[in-house]
Amino acid sequence: MMYHDFYAYYQIENEQSIDQLINGSGKYNDILDTYQKILLLSTAYSKGKGVIDYAKSGNRRNRAGLIAILHSQKKYDQYIHGKLNEIKSLGIDSSIDITLLPKGSWILEFQLELEKPFLSKDDIPFYIIENPVKKDVVFGVPYTPATTWKGNLRWAMMKEFLEKKKDDPEEFAETRFRHTLLFGTEKGWEGTPKGWSEYLDRMCPDAKRIYRKKLTEMFEKNNDKPEDIHVEGMLHFYPTFWDRIDLMVINPHDRKTKTGKNPIYFEIVPEGAKGMFRLLYVPYYWLGDDDEKLKKKVWEDLSQVIAGVKAMMLKYGFSAKKTIGFGKARNNFNTGRVEIKGFLSTREFSNFEGLESIWGVEDEYS
């Protein structure tokens, strides 16, 4: 059956067809995939408002539609658990082996648990609600992409390290340079800086020239313009697949009548959901150094990253709407490990204090 024929054949017609879709009866008895059921709910938009609302949450007498799948019956959680087993069997969400990587490479990984719900926006073009959580396009599992982790960690490390040095151009430029080596070329890095690069230039204007000089000296391109230098970061990020999903409803009230109107639906990864955070570091900018110097630089990078990850997880958050408290983790891990090739064998930890005690990193938030 062609893609468009599938949606035409299983078109939602009325409230009864929505109940049949959810329960797997009538013409929907061969639709076994829970994610496909959710996608079919979007065909209710060709009907009236009553059918659309029923496809989202049912009515006062009956929880139906999306809210039944995600919340009342928890069918999607069951679907997720099955897909997570598939992902693991394919080696996609597996522990990282650094045996064949260069000396000084390290892996940091732990299973985090959400203290506050995680929100994100999927880019699916057609959905029954306007705010679906981001899902993997192949497996339909809610996840945090590697790019989201990278952006949030870079921002957290800027807040923790760069902002505090904005009155010291030399220190600011050095820290900004080291962050570039960790994360790669800044967004907006061009002849006329924009975005992130422009923001950092404005934060400490006197550090602009020093930072650019460090780049040209490091990469021996003194005849090139600094904006022509583009580098890959030493940090490598991985997606986090979450094991739960839910539906959050915000019901704005009319100021005059005090009654609810037009509820807004958000898919979320709820409090208590778990997923693996993984971060790999390969020190290819330090590989020409002797062991003592290599170990020192690797340690400096790791200590800053540990502090940044802790701040991101516990202090700032890593979700949409993080400024109002969404997307924070609990400081309690079921399992965590850190390992440095050639310098430290695998060590386990169960919270950030345990991780910091391994390295003697000063705890700034206790």
Over residues 151-162, the pLDDT tens digits come to 999 999 999 999
Confidence of residue 359 (pLDDT cuts 50, 70, 90): low
Taking residues 141-166, report their average pLDDT.
96
**What amino acid occupies position 204?**
C
Residue 353 confidence (pLDDT): 93
Task: Give the chain as a 3 state SS string.
Answer: CCHHHHHHHCCCCCHHHHHHHHHCCHHHCCCCCHHHHHHHHHHHHHCCHHHHHHHHHCCCCCCCHHHHHHHHCCHHHHHHHHHHHHHHHCCCCCCCCCCCCCCCCEEEEEEEEECCCECCCCCCCCCCCCCCCCECCCCCCEEECHHHHHHHHHHHHHHHHHHHHCCCHHHHHHHHHHHHHHHECCCCCCCCCCHHHHHHHHHCHHHHHHHHHHHHHHCCCCCCCHHHCCCECCEEECCEECCCCEEEEECCECCCCCCECCCEEEEEECCCCEEEEEEEECCCCCCCCCHHHHHHHHHHHHHHHHHHHHHHHHHHCCCCCHHHCCCCECCCCCCEEEEECCCEEEEECCCHHHHHHHHCCCCCCC
Q: What is the pLDDT of residues 330-345, one digit of tens each?
A: 999 988 999 999 999 9
Task: Return the higher-pLDDT residue of 177 and 219.
Answer: 177
Residue 221 confidence (pLDDT): 62
Q: What is the pLDDT of residues 278-326, one digit of tens each?
A: 999 999 999 989 999 999 999 999 999 999 999 999 999 999 889 888 9
Task: Return the higher-pLDDT residue of 10 and 366.
Answer: 10
Q: What is the pLDDT of residues 57-112, one digit of tens each?
A: 999 889 999 999 999 889 999 999 999 999 999 999 999 999 999 999 999 999 99
Per-domain boundaries in the chain: 3-73, 106-184+231-359
Q: Report whether 314 contacts 366 (CB < 8 A).
A: no
**What amino acid occupies position 180?**
T
pTM of the entire predicted model: 0.90
Q: What is the pLDDT of residues 116-125, one digit of tens each?
A: 999 999 989 8
Residue 365 confidence (pLDDT): 34
Whether pLDDT at 1 is above 90: no
Residue 256 confidence (pLDDT): 62
Whether pLDDT at 16 is above 90: yes
Residue 223 confidence (pLDDT): 61
Q: Report whether 113 contacts 272 (CB < 8 A).
A: yes
Residue 255 confidence (pLDDT): 62
